[in-house]
Structure 1
Amino acid sequence: MKKGETMRSDANLSSQLTKNALKEHKKRVGEVVLVAISPRTTIELPANLSQAERDVRIELYKKLHSSKV
């Protein structure tokens, strides 16, 4: 195996590990809802949250990312 092939193989492995981690996280979280924060920003929140809990998390997100929203 050549050096370039090893680097490509490592990148593919890293990509696959990331995809698997995201799949496992989504299994644990369960159903999600997408919430539009701005025209360019959407976040995922657990679907089982009440509207009040969603509002709190959205406000927290906006405070933490105020320069980006």
Structure 2
Amino acid sequence: MEKNRVNRSAKNSFSQSAEMILKEHKKNMGEVIRVVINARTTFEFPAHFSPEEIAIRIENYKKRHNLV
């Protein structure tokens, strides 16, 4: 029982740490462009990316995940 409590505490700590890191990264990233691939997949690209660069990254994602 004690072991489960320690594992749960470690998981919560890890989750909180990961959320803080993600929030900090988004804050440092600046303006972003959101691109919706499907109902479950959304990307945020830096606003300075060209449309061609975004299209290339989306195509690579689709190829890797067999969405083409």
The verdict on a shared fold, with TM-score over 0.5 as the criterion, is yes
Q: Which runs of 4+ in 1 moved over 6 A?
A: none
Percent of pairs with identical residues:
49
Question: Structure 2: which 5+ residue stretches go unaligned?
Answer: none
Q: Distance in 1 between matches of 2:40 and 2:49?
A: 23
Paired residue total: 67
Equivalent residue number for residue 14 of structure 2: 14
Task: Compute the RMSD of aligned alpha carbons.
Answer: 2.1
The offset of 1:8, in angstroms, is 2.8
Q: Deviations over 1:35-60 (max 9, x none)?
A: 11123322221121111111111111
Q: Distance in 1 between matches of 2:45 and 2:29?
A: 9
Higher relative contact order (CA 8 A, sep 6+): 1
Q: Deviations over 1:9-63 (max 9, x none)?
A: 2122111111122123223432222111123322221121111111111111111
TM normalised by structure 1 equals 0.69
The offset of 1:4, in angstroms, is 4.2
